[in-house]
Chains A and B, each alone.
Chain A
Amino acid sequence: MDNRITLVRNYGIMLRETQTFSNDYLIKQLPVSTAFVDKKFNIIHASDKWITDFDFSNRDVIGMSLFELFKDISKSWKKELNSVIKGQAMISGVENFFDSQNNEKWFEWVNVPWYDAQENIIGVIIQTKDISDTIFDDVKLEKLEVLFKDKSKISKIGGWEYDAVKDKLTWCKITKKLHEVPEDFEPDVEIGINFYKEGYSRNTIAMAVDNAMTKGVTWNETLQLITAKGKEISVITTGKPVFKNEKFLGLIGTFQDITDEVLNKAKTEEQERIFSSIFNSSYQFTAILDTEGTFLEINETALQFSDLKQEDIINKKFWDAYWWPIPDMVKEGLKQVITAAAQGEFMRNEIVVLDKNKQPIPVDFSLKPIYNEEGSVVSLLAEGRMIKEMVEARQKLKISEQKFRSLYELSPIAYILSDFETGEILDFNSSFEQATAYGKGDMENLRYADLVPDSSKHKLINFLKEVDLKGTYGPFEHKFCKKDGTTYPVLISGSLVGNKKGRKLLWSTAQDISEVKKKEKQIREEQKLLKTLIDNLPLNVYIKDLESRKVLVNKSELIYCGFKEEAEVLGKNDFDFYDETSASISREEDLNVMNSLNPILGKETISVKKDGGLTKFMTSKIPLIGPDGKANGLIGISMDISDLKQQEQELRDLINVTSIQNKQLINFAHIVSHNLRSHTANFSMLLEFLVDEKDANEQANLIKMLTEASDNLLDTLDNLNEVVAISTNLNLDKKPVNLYEKIEAAEKNLAAFLKKNNAKIINKIPDETYIKVIPAYIDSILMNFITNAVKYKDDSRDPVIKLTVSNNEKYTILSIEDNGLGIDLNKYGKKLFGMYKTFHDNSDARGIGLYITKNQIEAMNGKVMACSEVGKGTTFNIYFNDKT
C-alpha cells in the first residue's frame, strides 16, 4: 500500500510539471497511460498505452465521452472528476473494470486539472496504472500461506476462495470432495453456507462470513456440515477477508474434515455418559465395594433412598451403613458375605432395609464379584432392587384371586372350565353343581359333550367351530343335561384361553334361564288370553298409527270391515272402508285425539260404508302415548248401537202412543162427566120447575121433558158402554175376513136406507181381498161410514160411494169415497173423530159414530184418515194392520 501511494505521488509531480502539450504526437507516446478530457469529459488526447490498457485499440476513442466508454463508471469517480474540474488539485484511487474478454482489470488512477497557458482549467488529465498483476500476486501469496498453516492431514484440507468483485465462490477439488459434490459443481456463498448444519453451525458461519466482509475478521471454527449426500461431517473451517487499498476483494479459506476425531471423542464421551446415567438413574441401588467391603462408588438412587451424600458413604464400610435394621446382628453376617463374594461367590437374597424414614422396605439384594483381566476379584458389585411394589402386587393378586374365587363360587351363573381339545372338564363352580347335581367327584369322567343333550349335539359342533375361529362364542340359548338326564334351558357363552403349557382351555358360562323361559311362556299365554279377550269382545277394537292406518284389529272389527284375514285390513285407513264424509270425520277425530291427547269417550257416531251400509256406533278413541309424551297412535273401541238406537226409537214411539192414549182417556173421562152432568143438571132443573108448577098442562109438559132427558141419558149411557166395550175388548181375536163379501153384506143390510136415499155403492174391491180384523168391528165400521156418506149427502146430487183398496208394507188400506157435503177439515179436522162432535145441521147427528169407528179401528192396531173438500165429498182411508 505504501508503494501505491508513492507511485501516485510521483505521477502527480510529473503531471504538474507538464502543463500543456503542444503536440498530440508526444502525448501518444507517453509511457504512462494518460488521457486528456475536456470539461464535458470528452476525450481530447489519449496515450497509446491508455488505449491499450483499456482495450480500446480497435476503437477511435478521441472525441468520445468518457462516460460512454466506461458505462459502468462509478458515481464517486464522476464526482471526483467534477471536483477536479472545479479546481481540486489531485485525486487518486483504485478502480476495477472488466475488459472485452471479461477479464478483471485493476487500476490505480490519478486525476489532475488540465490548465491552459492562462492557468485556466480546461479539463482533466487522467493517468492510470494497470495493477491487476500486483493485486493477484498478493492474493495468491496469502492463499498459500493459509494452505500450509495447518500441517497435519493435508489430504483432508481443501481450499476455497471468494471473489467479491465477480461474486464468485471457487472450491478446490478436496473441498468439493468433502461436500460430496461433483467436480463441475459451481457453488456460491449462499449454497456454501447452506451446506452447514442448520442451527448452531449455520448461524456461526453466517455470522463469521458477515464479520469477515464488514469488519475484516478472520474465522477458525469447528462446525458440522451436511454433505450433498446427506452425511454429517465435522469440519474446521477457516476464512480470511482480502482487502486492497481498503477495498474488499474477497475471501479465502480452508476446510478440514475432522469427522473421525469428533466421532471417536463423542463415542468415549457417550459411553461414559451412558454408564453414569445407567449407574445413577437405575431404579436399583448400586454400589461398588472393594474386596474389603469399603464403598468405592454409590449411585444416586441409593443416595436418594437413604438421604445421604456421596461423601457420607465413600470410603466407609458396607456394614456400617445405617440402613440395616439390627446392625449388631447383621454386621458379622455381612462381613462373611463380603468375604465369600471376594472369593468369587455370587450372593442373592431377599432382605429388609430401612429407608430415610426408618420404614422397612423389602429389597432383592445381590453381591457380585468383579474380576480383572487376570481373573482375580478386584471389587464387588452390590445391588439392591426395591421389591415393595412386587410384594404389594403379590398381595393384591392374592386378594383379587380371593375375590374372583368367591365371585366364581357364589355366582348364580354356572362356570365350566374344560379342555377345548379333549372336552375334559377341569373345573366348575357351585352354581353348576346346584343346577346339574354333578359334584366335584364326577369331574374326572365328565366331558363337555355330556352336558349337551343328544338332540342338540350338532349345534355343539357348530359352536366349537365358532370358538376355534373367533376365540369366543355366544351368548345363545341352549340346553344342558343334568346328572339325572333331564335338561334345562341355559344361555351359554364362552371364550378360549390358553394356559402356560399351550393347552387350549374353554371357559364357558351357562345361565339358567328356566325362569326366563317360564316367564316368556307366561307372557305368551297372557298375550293369547288378551288376544282372545279382545277378539271375543262384542266391541270393535282397533289400533291406528299416526296416519290413521289400522295396525291392529280384533275379530269384530275385521268382520265389520268385511274381511277374513287381519292382513287384509292392516295398513288401510278409513278412506278404504267408509264413504268420503264418514272417513273425513273419523280422520279429524283421530287427529284431534292424537294432537290434544284428550280421548273421545262414548261418542255416538254414524259410519257409512262404501256400499252405503249405515251403522250407528258408540265410539271411544284413546290416544296411545309414547315415551316422548306424544301420541304415536290411538286405540279405538266402537260398539254397534244400531239395534239399541232402533229399540230406543220404538220405545219413544210407544211412550208417545201411551201418552196420546192417556190424553184420550182423560178426554174421555171429561166427556163422560160432561154428558152425565148435563143430563143430571137438566133433571135437577126440570124437577125444581115441577115442584113449583101448579099448572097441570105445564106439569105434563115438564114430565114429558123429564122423560126425554131420561131417554137421552140412557142413550148416552149406551154410547158410553159401546165405547167402553171397544176399549175393554182389546183382546178379541182378529180373523182374516173377505173384505168384498163384508161390503156386499153391509150393502144388503142397508138396502132399504140406500134405496130411500137413491144411493149407489161402487164396490171396487177385488173379491180375494182378505183383511185381519175383528168381524163385529168391521161390520160396524162399514155400516158407519156408508150411513155417514149417505146422511151427509149433497142434496143437489144422488149419493155415490166408491170403495177401493190398496196396500203398503204394513197395511191394507180401504178407501171410502163419497160425493157428499164434504167437511172443512181446517176448521173441524181436529174434532172430526171426537165424541159428540157434529158438524152439520143434521138433527140425527149424534156425534158418536166416527168416535166409535175410530176407536174400533185403533183397537185393531189400525188408523183412519180423512180428506175432504166442502161441496165435493169426503174420502176416508182406513188402514187395517195386516201384521198385528
Chain B
Amino acid sequence: MTKLKSIAIIDDDPITVFGVKRMLNTLNVSENIKSYANGKEAIDDFKRIINHKEEIPEVIFLDINMPIMDGWQFLEEFIALPITNKIRINILTSSIDPADRENWRYYITRTHHIIDYKNKPIQKKEIEKITRAA
C-alpha cells in the first residue's frame, strides 16, 4: 500500500484536529499531515505550495464553521486554484443544516475535485476507506 504524500486537516476545533490526526497516524497512511485552524491559513499555504511547485495534499479534511474564512469560502478559492490533480476533499461537519448539504452538491458540480460530505464524529473505518481509495 502506497502512502499518501500529504494530508491536510482544516478545522478550528483542536480536538477534532487531534482526533483525525491520531486516527491517520494509527493507520499510517502518510508521513506528512498538515493542519490549519481556518480556511484562510490553508488557502494561503496552498498558494505558497503552488508557487513553489510543490504538491498539494491529496486528501483534505475540511470543517465548515470556522472563523475568518469558513469552509465554503475556502472551497470557493480552492477550486479556482490551478490544480490538475483530483484532490479528495472530505467535508467534516457537525452541522445538520440542509443548506450545507445543498451547498456541497453545488460545489460538486463546479469542480473536477472529489468532494465528500461527512458528519462528525468520523470513524476510523471511514478514514481508512478515504485514504485507501486515494
Assess the B67–A678 pair: CB atoms within 8 A. Answer: no
Cβ of A297 to closest chain B Cβ, rounded Å: 141
Query: Considering the chains assembled together, what is the distance between the CA atoms of A836 and B67 in angstroms?
Result: 8
List B contacts of A838 (CB < 8 A): 67-68
Assess the B18–A678 pair: CB atoms within 8 A. Answer: no
- B19 closest partner in A (C-beta): A685
B22 at the binding interface (Cβ < 8 Å): yes
Query: Considering the chains assembled together, what is the distance between the CA atoms of A708 and B19 in angstroms?
Result: 14
Assess the B97–A682 pair: CB atoms within 8 A. Answer: no
A845 at the binding interface (Cβ < 8 Å): yes
A839 at the binding interface (Cβ < 8 Å): yes
The B-contacting residues of A in range 697-716, CB under 8 angstroms, are 705, 708-709
A686 at the binding interface (Cβ < 8 Å): yes
B111 at the binding interface (Cβ < 8 Å): no
Stretch of A14-22, A669-677, A721-729 on the interface side: A669-677
B6 at the binding interface (Cβ < 8 Å): no
Q: Interface readout for B57-85 with A: 1 if CB under 8 Å, 0 if not? A: 00000000101100000000000000000
Assess the A670–B96 pair: CB atoms within 8 A. Answer: yes
Assess the B19–A689 pair: CB atoms within 8 A. Answer: yes
B13 at the binding interface (Cβ < 8 Å): yes
Assess the A839–B19 pair: CB atoms within 8 A. Answer: no
- A684 closest partner in B (C-beta): B121
List B contacts of A678 (CB < 8 A): 13, 16, 94, 120
Assess the B18–A681 pair: CB atoms within 8 A. Answer: no
Q: Interface readout for B1-23 with A: 1 if CB under 8 Å, 0 if not? A: 00000000000010110110010
B95 at the binding interface (Cβ < 8 Å): yes
The A-contacting residues of B in range 28-74, CB under 8 angstroms, are 65, 67-68
Cβ contact of B19, chosen from A675, A686, A840, A845, cutoff 8 A: A686
- A709 closest partner in B (C-beta): B15
Query: Considering the chains assembled together, what is the distance between the CA atoms of A841 and B66 in angstroms?
Result: 11
Cβ contact of A677, chosen from B67, B96, B122, cutoff 8 A: B96
Given A674-B94, A685-B121, do A840 and B15 touch, yes or no (CB 8 Å)? Answer: no
A202 at the binding interface (Cβ < 8 Å): no
Assess the B95–A670 pair: CB atoms within 8 A. Answer: yes
A447 at the binding interface (Cβ < 8 Å): no
Assess the B94–A677 pair: CB atoms within 8 A. Answer: yes
Assess the A847–B121 pair: CB atoms within 8 A. Answer: no
Query: Considering the chains assembled together, what is the distance between the CA atoms of A486 and B15 in angstroms?
Result: 115
- B18 closest partner in A (C-beta): A705
Assess the A685–B68 pair: CB atoms within 8 A. Answer: no
Cβ of A704 to closest chain B Cβ, rounded Å: 11
Query: Considering the chains assembled together, what is the distance between the CA atoms of A67 and B77 in angstroms?
Result: 153
List B contacts of A675 (CB < 8 A): 94
A837 at the binding interface (Cβ < 8 Å): yes
Assess the B67–A682 pair: CB atoms within 8 A. Answer: no
- B40 closest partner in A (C-beta): A841
Query: Considering the chains assembled together, what is the distance between the CA atoms of A839 and B73 in angstroms?
Result: 13
List B contacts of A836 (CB < 8 A): 65
Assess the B15–A708 pair: CB atoms within 8 A. Answer: yes
List A contacts of B93 (CB < 8 A): 674
Query: Considering the chains assembled together, what is the distance between the CA atoms of A685 and B14 in angstroms?
Result: 13
Cβ contact of B94, chosen from A681, A709, A837, cutoff 8 A: A681
List A contacts of B94 (CB < 8 A): 674-675, 677-678, 681
Given A670-B96, A674-B94, A674-B97, do A682 and B65 touch, yes or no (CB 8 Å)? Answer: no
List B contacts of A689 (CB < 8 A): 19, 22
Query: Considering the chains assembled together, what is the distance between the CA atoms of A237 and B93 in angstroms?
Result: 160
Q: Interface readout for B95-114 with A: 1 if CB under 8 Å, 0 if not? A: 11101000000000000000
Assess the B68–A673 pair: CB atoms within 8 A. Answer: no
| Interface core residue of A685, A839, A845 (most chain B CB under 10 Å) | A685
List B contacts of A708 (CB < 8 A): 15
Report how many A-B pairs have Cβ atoms within 8 Å: 60
- A678 closest partner in B (C-beta): B94
Given A836-B65, A838-B67, A839-B67, do A677 and B15 touch, yes or no (CB 8 Å)? Answer: no
Assess the A682–B16 pair: CB atoms within 8 A. Answer: yes
Cβ of A737 to closest chain B Cβ, rounded Å: 34
Cβ of A674 to closest chain B Cβ, rounded Å: 5
List A contacts of B22 (CB < 8 A): 689
Assess the A674–B96 pair: CB atoms within 8 A. Answer: yes
List A contacts of B122 (CB < 8 A): 685
Cβ of A675 to closest chain B Cβ, rounded Å: 8
Query: Considering the chains assembled together, what is the distance between the CA atoms of A674 and B66 in angstroms?
Result: 12
- A834 closest partner in B (C-beta): B65
Query: Considering the chains assembled together, what is the distance between the CA atoms of A615 and B13 in angstroms?
Result: 61
List A contacts of B67 (CB < 8 A): 837-840, 845, 847
The B-contacting residues of A in range 817-839, CB under 8 angstroms, are 836-839
Assess the A681–B120 pair: CB atoms within 8 A. Answer: yes
Cβ contact of A686, chosen from B15, B65, B68, B120, cutoff 8 A: B15
Query: Considering the chains assembled together, what is the distance between the CA atoms of A286 and B103 in angstroms?
Result: 138
Assess the B121–A841 pair: CB atoms within 8 A. Answer: no
List A contacts of B95 (CB < 8 A): 670, 673-674, 677
Cβ contact of B121, chosen from A673, A681, A837, A839, cutoff 8 A: A681
Query: Considering the chains assembled together, what is the distance between the CA atoms of A709 and B120 in angstroms?
Result: 15
Cβ of A673 to closest chain B Cβ, rounded Å: 6
Given A684-B121, A685-B121, A845-B67, do A673 and B96 touch, yes or no (CB 8 Å)? Answer: yes
Cβ of B11 to closest chain A Cβ, rounded Å: 10
List A contacts of B18 (CB < 8 A): 705
List A contacts of B96 (CB < 8 A): 670, 673-674, 677
Assess the B68–A839 pair: CB atoms within 8 A. Answer: yes
List B contacts of A685 (CB < 8 A): 15-16, 19, 120-122
Query: Considering the chains assembled together, what is the distance between the CA atoms of A303 and B22 in angstroms?
Result: 163
Cβ contact of A674, chosen from B15, B19, B65, B68, cutoff 8 A: B65
- A701 closest partner in B (C-beta): B18
Assess the A682–B121 pair: CB atoms within 8 A. Answer: yes
Cβ of A687 to closest chain B Cβ, rounded Å: 10
Cβ of B15 to closest chain A Cβ, rounded Å: 4
Cβ of B46 to closest chain A Cβ, rounded Å: 18
List A contacts of B119 (CB < 8 A): 677, 681
Query: Considering the chains assembled together, what is the distance between the CA atoms of A397 and B121 in angstroms?
Result: 129
Query: Considering the chains assembled together, what is the distance between the CA atoms of A845 and B94 in angstroms?
Result: 20
- B38 closest partner in A (C-beta): A841
Assess the A670–B13 pair: CB atoms within 8 A. Answer: no
The B-contacting residues of A in range 822-877, CB under 8 angstroms, are 836-841, 845, 847
List A contacts of B68 (CB < 8 A): 838-841
Cβ of B127 to closest chain A Cβ, rounded Å: 11
Assess the A677–B97 pair: CB atoms within 8 A. Answer: no
Query: Considering the chains assembled together, what is the distance between the CA atoms of A847 and B13 in angstroms?
Result: 14
Query: Considering the chains assembled together, what is the distance between the CA atoms of A682 and B17 in angstroms?
Result: 10
Query: Considering the chains assembled together, what is the distance between the CA atoms of A670 and B65 in angstroms?
Result: 12
Query: Considering the chains assembled together, what is the distance between the CA atoms of A27 and B99 in angstroms?
Result: 174
Query: Considering the chains assembled together, what is the distance between the CA atoms of A673 and B22 in angstroms?
Result: 26
Query: Considering the chains assembled together, what is the distance between the CA atoms of A673 and B96 in angstroms?
Result: 7
List A contacts of B13 (CB < 8 A): 678, 682
Cβ of A381 to closest chain B Cβ, rounded Å: 140
List B contacts of A684 (CB < 8 A): 121
Q: Interface readout for A661-697 with B: 1 if CB under 8 Å, 0 if not? A: 0000000001001110110011011100100000000
- A846 closest partner in B (C-beta): B67
Cβ of B83 to closest chain A Cβ, rounded Å: 23
Assess the A705–B15 pair: CB atoms within 8 A. Answer: yes
B residues at A contact (CB < 8 Å): 13, 15-16, 18-19, 22, 65, 67-68, 93-97, 99, 119-122
Enumerate 18 A-B pairs (CB-CB under 8 Å) in ascending A order: A670-B95, A673-B97, A674-B65, A674-B93, A674-B95, A678-B13, A678-B16, A681-B121, A682-B15, A682-B19, A685-B19, A685-B121, A685-B122, A689-B19, A838-B67, A839-B67, A841-B68, A845-B67
Inter-chain pairs besides A686-B19, A705-B15, 20 sampled, C-beta below 8 Å: A670-B96, A670-B99, A674-B65, A677-B95, A677-B119, A677-B120, A678-B13, A682-B13, A682-B15, A682-B121, A685-B19, A685-B120, A685-B121, A689-B19, A705-B18, A838-B67, A840-B67, A840-B68, A841-B68, A845-B67
Question: What 10 A-B pairs come out closest when comparing CB atoms?
Answer: A838-B67, A681-B120, A677-B94, A681-B121, A678-B94, A670-B97, A685-B19, A685-B121, A682-B15, A674-B95
